[in-house]
Structures are given as C-alpha cells and as structure tokens.
C-alpha cells in the first residue's frame, strides 16, 4: 500500500459534473476521495469520518464553504483545508485564510496545479504535525462535564449515561454554543435525514437533554422558532 492510499480527502462541490471529474482524478492519483454536494452533507461526512484534507467549494447550497470550514474547525483544528472558487476576489481569499485555509484555487484550474498544491499542503501538514489533530470531545457546561467519547454527562448530583443519539445531539449543541443550530443540520448530521417524523423524535431528545441539565439553571437549550435551537450558558 502506497502512502497515498492511506490519505483520505473530503471533496465538497455542488457542481456534480465537476465534482465527479475531480474525484476520479484524485482517485487515479491514489487518494481515497469522498464527494458531497452541499455544506450539510459535507459536514455530516466530516463529523463521522476522519480526513487528511478537505477541498471545499466556496459557493455551496445549504451551508457555504466558509461556514462549513468554521464548523470543521470547531471539531478539528488541524486538518488542512483547500478552497475552490469561481471568484478571484481578494476579500474572499482573505476571509478564507482567516478561517485557517491552507490554500485557495480559482476555477478553472489545471489538474497539474491541483496535484502540486495538494502535495505541498500535505507536506506542510506532515512536517508540522507532531501530535494528533485536536478534536473537541469533552465540554464544560457550567457545573456539568460532558464526556462525549464515553457517552457520559457528569455532575456532582450524579452522572448520567447518555444514548448515542443523545450524545451526538448534545455535542452538536456544544459545538454551536451561543449560535443557532438549525433543525435541518442537526437532523442531517445526527439522524442522517431531514425528515418531518425524525424532527418530532429530535424534539423528544431535546426535552430529555433539558431534563438532564436541570441541575444547573445557567445551562439552557433555547428554541429558535421555525429555525432550530441555541445552547447558552448564563454567567
């Protein structure tokens, strides 16, 4: 097995014709490559798997590439990100680099250039990455400690074992603390589908999480009518 065979790339591109062409090229180069067509699906894929590089189109449906990069950075602070865009605006490039992007390519581009940029990004990542990528799996919520890997919500009043779905939903809320977590995103990532009946099920899970967190009144899961939920921590 070559080194490339162990490298996994997440490609998020809404132009599926272009996406399939890039995916085929990367696979022919020896990279394991997954393709998703929108920001929500891309985040769901990244949330559930481990990648060595993310290639993100900027103009994506449901969640644009910049917002997707922000969400990826909440989970993993080290994975390299390469933006693809049809625009060459300096402002966009500056925004991308501020979000921690490693490189930026303007369409159309040659595959030779893409190959060279990927190799350079991976070389920099391998040179400077002595530790494992930092993933946020343990959260402090007021007087609670949420241990996601062990599905445990810890508190001096007693620890609570969580189901996998409860833990997944609570982690999504934690990653978006003080921000709106849309129903669509939560359903897509945690349940795998944005479905009406699954939405009713999610409401039941939200009620359960509120019950588990009742020992600390500072921790609140607020409804944002018609949009989703927001976890806040009062001072």
Q: Which of 230, 184, 52 is nearest to 124 (CA)?
A: 52
Please compute the mean of the pLDDT values over residues 183-193 and round it to a whole number: 85
User: What is residue 137's predicted lDDT score, i.e. its pLDDT?
Assistant: 84
86: confidence class by pLDDT, cuts 50, 70, 90:
confident
Q: Which of 79, 30, 71, 23 is nearest to 51 (CA)?
A: 79
User: What is residue 5's predicted lDDT score, i.e. its pLDDT?
Assistant: 52
Q: Contact, 29 vs 23, CB < 8 A?
A: no
212: confidence class by pLDDT, cuts 50, 70, 90:
very high
Please compute the mean of the pLDDT values over residues 96-121 and round it to a whole number: 86
4: confidence class by pLDDT, cuts 50, 70, 90:
low
Residue 233's alpha-carbon distances to 5, 58, 59, 75, 204, in angstroms, are 44, 32, 33, 20, 21
User: What is residue 126's predicted lDDT score, i.e. its pLDDT?
Assistant: 76
Q: Contact, 84 vs 35, CB < 8 A?
A: no
User: What is residue 1's predicted lDDT score, i.e. its pLDDT?
Assistant: 43
User: Of the given ranges (11-20, 184-193, 223-232), which has the lowest mean pLDDT?
Assistant: 184-193
Q: Which of 172, 155, 162 is nearest to 228 (CA)?
A: 172
Residue 2 has pLDDT above 70, yes or no: no
CATH number belonging to the domain at 4-128, selected among 1.20.1260.10, 3.40.50.2300, 3.40.50.720, 2.40.50.140: 3.40.50.2300
Please compute the mean of the pLDDT values over residues 136-148 and round it to a whole number: 92
- In sequence order, the 6+-apart residues with CB closer than 8 A to the CB of 164 are 151
User: What is residue 130's predicted lDDT score, i.e. its pLDDT?
Assistant: 39
Domains of the chain: which residue ranges? Answer: 4-128, 138-233
Residue 40 has pLDDT above 80, yes or no: yes
Please compute the mean of the pLDDT values over residues 194-211 and round it to a whole number: 91
132: confidence class by pLDDT, cuts 50, 70, 90:
very low
Q: What percent of the chain has pLDDT over 70?
A: 91
Fold of 138-233: Arc Repressor Mutant, subunit A (1.10.10)
125: confidence class by pLDDT, cuts 50, 70, 90:
confident
User: What is residue 69's predicted lDDT score, i.e. its pLDDT?
Assistant: 92
Please compute the mean of the pLDDT values over residues 29-49 and round it to a whole number: 93
Please compute the mean of the pLDDT values over residues 84-89 and round it to a whole number: 76
Residue 131 has pLDDT above 80, yes or no: no
What is the 8-class DSSP label of residue 233? E
Q: Contact, 10 vs 45, CB < 8 A?
A: yes
Q: Which of 81, 109, 101 is nearest to 18 (CA)?
A: 109
User: What is residue 196's predicted lDDT score, i.e. its pLDDT?
Assistant: 82
CA–CA gap between residue 86 and residue 2 (Å, rounded): 33
């Amino acid at each position: 097995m070559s080194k490339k065979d162990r490298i996994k790339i997440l490609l998020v591109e809404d132009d599926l014709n272009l996406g399939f062409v890039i995916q085929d090229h990367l696979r022919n180069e020896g990279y394991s490559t997954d393709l998703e067509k929108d920001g929500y699906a891309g985040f769901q894929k990244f949330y559930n798997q481990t990648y060595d590089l993310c290639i993100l189109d900027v103009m994506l449906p449901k969640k644009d590439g910049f917002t997707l990069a922000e969400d990826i950075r909440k989970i993993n602070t080290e994975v390299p990100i390469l933006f693809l865009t049809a625009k060459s605006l300096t402002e966009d490039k500056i925004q991308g680099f501020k979000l921690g992007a490693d490189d930026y390519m303007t369409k159309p581009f040659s595959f030779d250039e893409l190959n060279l940029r990927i190799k350079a990004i991976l070389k920099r990542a391998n040179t400077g990455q002595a530790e494992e990528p930092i993933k946020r799996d343990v959260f402090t919520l007021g007087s609670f400690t949420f241990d996601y890997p062990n599905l445990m919500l810890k508190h001096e009043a007693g620890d609570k074992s969580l189901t996998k779905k409860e833990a997944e939903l609570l982690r999504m809320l934690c990653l978006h603390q003080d921000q709106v977590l849309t129903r669509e995103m939560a359903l897509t990532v945690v349940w795998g589908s944005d479905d009406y009946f699954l939405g009713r099920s999610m409401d039941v899970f939200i009620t359960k999480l509120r019950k588990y967190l009742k020992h600390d009144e500072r921790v609140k899961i607020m409804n944002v009518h018609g949009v989703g939920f927001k976890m806040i921590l009062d001072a």
